[in-house]
Amino acid sequence: MSKIVIVGAGYAGMMAATRLERLAEPFTIINKHAYHYFTTLLHEAAGGRGEPDKYRVDIKEVLAKPSSELVVTEVTGIDRERRVVRTEAGEFPYEYLVFTLGWVPEYFGIPGLAEHSLVLRSLNAAKQIRSHIEREFRQYREDQNPVHLRIVVGGAGLTGVELVGELLDWLPELCMTLGVPWDHVEVQNIEAMPMILPMVAENLREVAARTLTEKGAKLRINTKIVQVTPGRVHLEGGEVVEAGTIIWTGGVRANPLLEQAGFTVDRRGRAKVNEYLQSVDDPHVFVGGDSAWCDGPDGRPYPPTAQVASQMGRAIADNVHALVHGRPMKPFQAHLKGTLASLGRELGVGDMVGVPVKGVVAAVAKEASKVKYLLELGGVRLAAAKSGELVHL
Ligand code: NAD
């Protein structure tokens, strides 16, 4: 029997796994936690929209068939010659490996950034950001030092903007609870480029900037972070911003294990795949999600989004299944349905299949996309169980 091993239970890994279950193809999935979390909603967890644990689902709740095995441990390497996955719990041999270990923060070599900033990279990190801010605000009550009330978010891509929007809905409530003056709070979103959200249309960018500014954000474009020291963000030109909370949302790169295992990678560490999502270096390895460097029909690589990752996961499962049973594989082509950015609990901007949307419509569309994902992942039962907790339509 061929041995299929999936590493990573993010969007790509989970979609590959659920599809393999439906195809009655046995596999082992290795993941650091016994749960899958909704990476696209981590800003909500950090911003206190719901309790952090509502943004996760037990993997065994979704993958319930005896033919699928879950191993909870951390992957430490891939030995391609021996075809084994090395983990903290020992080695796991594979005939076909599905590599979907997602992303790590891209620090661009900026001194002190990794050591002195928080990153919205996991559910635990979201909890950490939330409790860090609460601690800083409590500290303000003790010493009245306004630095405790200053939050710097570095990078105004989708992650930064969604986080800032969410924080600005939550912080007034936190101030009220703690008896801290809201008008002393400062949330700076610092962006090196001349614009926020470069991936959305210009008019929507303006809507996003206006909405966030009206909520109280201080948006600083053309401003590059060059160094971070404890509690201090150093900007190009010499300005230093003191802040109790420093969060980095300046970019992502693929898991470094790919490069370490000798795969051909791009400048963001993603492994090059062919049209079947198979590594160009190794036909026994499929790569999906944020780990994959896969060119779309326009010759540009697909973006590292949950939407693309989910579609890749399904396509990989179909292709591994085909390969195991000696049938032809199918080339992958993503169906890009648009980008939606939330700007807090009730507003958003983006485009749906090319149609620009903003305000409440965009926020409702984003909520609908959550339910769609839950339906795909675990059917009506999971959607009914989780969407009540996540969706506020
Ligand atoms: P990103 O790379 O898209 O944005 C990072 C931003 O940080 C950029 O605008 C960049 O100019 C800025 N930056 C980098 N270095 C800087 C510096 N030294 N000083 C100041 N600013 C700096 O990263 P992201 O927002 O984390 O997104 C990563 C991927 O995830 C993207 O493909 C995105 O589309 C996807 N994503 C999608 C959604 C959604 O669909 N709603 C949400 C979050 C992320």
Domain boundary among 229, 248, 267: 248
What is the rounded CA–CA span in Å between residue 342 and residue 41?
Answer: 10
Q: How many CB atoms lie within 10 A of CB 382?
A: 17
8 in contact with ligand 1, CB cutoff 6 A = no
DSSP per-residue letters across 30-67: EESSSEEE-GGGHHHHHTTSS-GGGGEEEHHHH---TT
- Specify burial of residue 176 (Cβ count, 10 A radius: 0-12, 13-18, 19+): exposed
Q: What's the CATH code of the domain at 263?
A: 3.50.50.100
Does 342 fall in a domain? no
- Determine the residue type at 306: A
Report the nearest atom of ligand 1 relative to the CA of 40: 42
Give the pLDDT score at 48: 83
Number of domains, the chain: 2
Please state which of the ranges 101-110, 113-122, 337-346 shows the lowest mean pLDDT. 337-346
Same domain as 275, residue 329: yes
Question: Is the CB of 356 within 6 Å of ligand 1?
Answer: no
Average pLDDT over every residue of 105-126: 97
Burial class of residue 336 in the structure, from the number of CB atoms within 10 Å of its CB (0-12 exposed, 13-18 middle, 19+ buried)? middle
pLDDT for res 392: 40
Residue 288 dihedral angles phi and psi, to the nearest 5°: -140, 170
Q: Is residue 55 part of a domain?
A: yes
The answer to the question of residue 291 being in a domain is yes
Residues involved in catalysis: 162
Establish if 379 belongs to a structural domain: no
Query: What's the pLDDT band for 2 if we cut at 50, 70, 90?
Result: low
* Residue recorded with tokens 């993941």: 31
Task: Give CA–CA dist 228/231, Å, rounded.
Answer: 8
Q: Backbone phi, then psi, for 235, in 5-degree steps? A: -105, 155
- Whether 64 and 143 share a structural domain: no
pLDDT tens-digit readout, 338-370: 888 888 888 888 877 676 777 776 677 777 777
Residue 204, pLDDT above cutoff 50: yes
44 and 69 assigned to the same domain: yes
Amino acid sitting at position 23: L
Residue 224 Cβ < 6 Å to ligand 1? yes
CB 116 within 8 A of CB 230: yes
Residues 235 and 328 in one domain: no
Evaluate whether residue 29 is within a structural domain.
Answer: yes
Residue with CA closest to ligand 1 atom 23: 251
User: Which is the closest atom of ligand 1 to the Cα of 158?
Assistant: 25
Ligand 1 centroid to residue 218 C-alpha, Å: 18
Residues in the chain: 393
Domain stops at, among 248, 263, 279: 248
Quick one: pLDDT band at residue 388, thresholds 50, 70, 90?
Answer: low
Same domain, 130 and 241: yes
Q: Is the CB of 250 under 6 A from ligand 1?
A: yes
Q: Has residue 355 been placed in a domain?
A: no
Residue owning the nearest CA to atom 5 of ligand 1: 250
180/288 same-domain check: no
CA of 196 to the centre of ligand 1 (A): 9
User: What distance in Å separates the CA atoms of residue 207 and residue 200, rounded to the nearest whole number?
Assistant: 11
Question: In the chain, which residue ranges form alpha helices assigned H by DSSP?
Answer: 11-22, 42-46, 59-62, 113-116, 123-143, 158-178, 202-215, 257-260, 306-324, 359-390
pLDDT in tens, 215-245: 999 999 999 999 999 999 999 999 999 999 9
Do residues 61 and 15 share a domain? yes
Domain contains 299: yes
pLDDT over 90 for what percent of the chain? 77
Q: For residue 369, is it within any domain?
A: no
User: 235: domain CATH number?
Assistant: 3.50.50.60
* d(C-alpha 9, C-alpha 289), whole Å: 11
Q: Is the ipTM of this complex over 0.90?
A: yes
Give 118-138 pLDDT, tens digit per residue.
999 999 999 999 999 999 999
Does one domain contain both 15 and 122? no
Contact by Cβ (8 Å): 55, 41: yes
233 and 134 assigned to the same domain: yes
Side-chain half-sphere CA neighbours of 153 within 13 A: 28
Looking at the fold, whether 117 and 130 belong to one and the same domain comes out as: yes
CA distances from 337 to 149, 378, 381, 391 (A): 38, 21, 25, 20
Contacts of 319 (CB under 8 A, 6+ apart): 276, 277, 278, 286, 329, 330, 332
62 & 129 share domain: no
**Ligand 1 neighbour 341 (Cβ under 6 A):** yes
Residue with tokens 């999935």: 29
* Top mutation candidate among 107, 158, 223 for ligand 1, by most atoms within 8 Å of CB: 158
Last residue of a domain, one of 217, 248, 279: 248
Is the pLDDT reported for residue 393 higher than 50?
no
Same domain, 28 and 118: no
Domain that holds residue 260: 4-105+252-336
